[in-house]
Amino acid sequence: MEAATVRVEAHVIKPAPRRPRLGLSEVWRNRELLWFFAWRELKVRYKQTLLGVVWAVIQPIMYMVVFTLFFGRFFETYSVGPYALLALSGSVIWLFFANSVTLAAGSLVGNASLLTKVYFPRLLAPLAPIIAALVDLALATLVLLAVMAGYGVFPAPQRVWTAIPFVLLAAGTAAGVGAWLAALNVKYRDVRFVVPVLLQLWLFFSSVFITFEALNLPEPWATLYWLNPMAGVVEGFRWAMLGGVRPELWHIVLASASGLVVLVSGLVYFKRLERTFADIV
């Protein structure tokens, strides 16, 4: 850089503006640091563990076992194959979401010493665990494919790729919820107690161990059900992997729109509070 001849634009430090922004361009400029955050998250998570990344697949398998034990007998008629596959596919994508939200919610408080000592785009903190969780998701998906193969169920090559937008919808929703909770957590440590309750309740409305079809909801509940972005994610991901009844397009649009609202509102709220984090964390 020729600082001597080319005059750089001054960077102005001023009191926080009230105008809400998303701050995504700053995240993009710092994508390398985001990668470092995610990489550190992964490294730290499996350090000094006996089973290491195997933990990423133990969780969904346990869910599958429990769900199958308790609910399996009510679902002997599941069209695609054994109930275990329904439960496992739902658990794999749900746990990606639930773990992302949990880690994102604690990300600012957990990195308090970083917040007060160095500047970085604050949004990197809640986003990093979501990126890291994608790695776990990839492993868990491999296990899902293996179990499917064990039952003689194979994904349709032309359909399996549609899982990707559903994963993105899950990640976006997790980012939105995570941003809300992380920012709130800086102010109110109650969030720590809210997160598990929230996720437990949310699980029941997200088709994780059941299908929308089997629920057979009356209107208006059948429509309202799709306001939950995770209902769209789980149903969509399951269809992409296993096939079966295709979710209606407008249901998916509804879920995506509501996911987008969660994401944008979370980012705006986060951005508004972000400048105070270092003072109150």
How many residues of this chain bind other proteins (CB under 8 A)?
39
Exposure b/e, 133-166, CB count within 10 A at least 16 = b = bebbbebbbebbeebbeeeebebeeeebebbeeb
Terminal Cα distance for the chain, rounded: 37
Binding mask 43-82 for other proteins (x = CB under 8 A): xx--xx----------------------------------
Q: Kindly state the smallest distance separating residue 245's Cβ from other proteins, in Å.
A: 41
When asked if residue 29 is in the footprint of other proteins (CB under 8 A), the reply is no
216 sits near other proteins (criterion: CB under 8 A)? no
Residue 96 tokens read as 């990606």
Residue 112 found at the interface with other proteins (CB under 8 A) = no
40 part of the interface to other proteins, by CB under 8 A: yes
5 binds other proteins, rule: CB under 8 A: no
Say whether residue 119 binds other proteins (CB under 8 A). yes
User: Closest Cα partner for 257 from 182, 137, 181, 176?
Assistant: 176
- Residue 40 Cβ vs other proteins, minimum distance, rounded to whole Å: 5
Question: Is residue 116 within the footprint of other proteins (CB under 8 A)?
Answer: yes
CA atoms of 116 and 29, how far apart (whole Å): 22
Say whether residue 19 binds other proteins (CB under 8 A): no
Taking the complex as a whole, how short is the minimal distance between the CB of residue 229 and other proteins, in angstroms? Answer: 25
278 forms part of the interface with other proteins (CB under 8 A): yes
* Nearest distance from C-beta of residue 206 to other proteins, angstroms: 25
Asked if 260 is part of the footprint of other proteins (rule: CB under 8 A), the reply reads: no
CB nearer to other proteins: give 41 or 235.
41
Distance CA 94, CA 85 (A): 14
Is 113 near other proteins (CB under 8 A)? yes
- Check if the beta carbon of residue 232 is closer than 8 Å to that of residue 226: yes
Residue 214 to residue 241: CA distance in whole angstroms: 19
Is the C-alpha dihedral spanning 241, 243, 245, 251 positive or negative? Answer: positive
In the complex, the smallest distance separating the C-beta of residue 167 from other proteins, rounded to whole angstroms, is: 26
Q: Is 14 helix (H, G, I), strand (E, B) or coil?
A: coil
Rounded to the nearest angstrom, the gap between the alpha carbon of residue 100 and the centroid of all alpha carbons in its chain is 5
Q: Tokens 């390398």 belong to which residue?
A: 32
The secondary element (H helix, E strand) that includes residue 196 is helix 191-204
From the CB of 32, what's the least distance to other proteins, in Å? Answer: 6
User: Distance between CA 205 and CA 215 in Å, rounded?
Assistant: 10
Which window, 41-49, 134-142, 220-228, 252-260, contacts other proteins (CB under 8 A)?
Answer: 41-49
Residues that bind other proteins (CB under 8 A): 1, 3-4, 7-16, 32-33, 36, 39-40, 43-44, 47-48, 113-120, 187-190, 275-276, 278-280
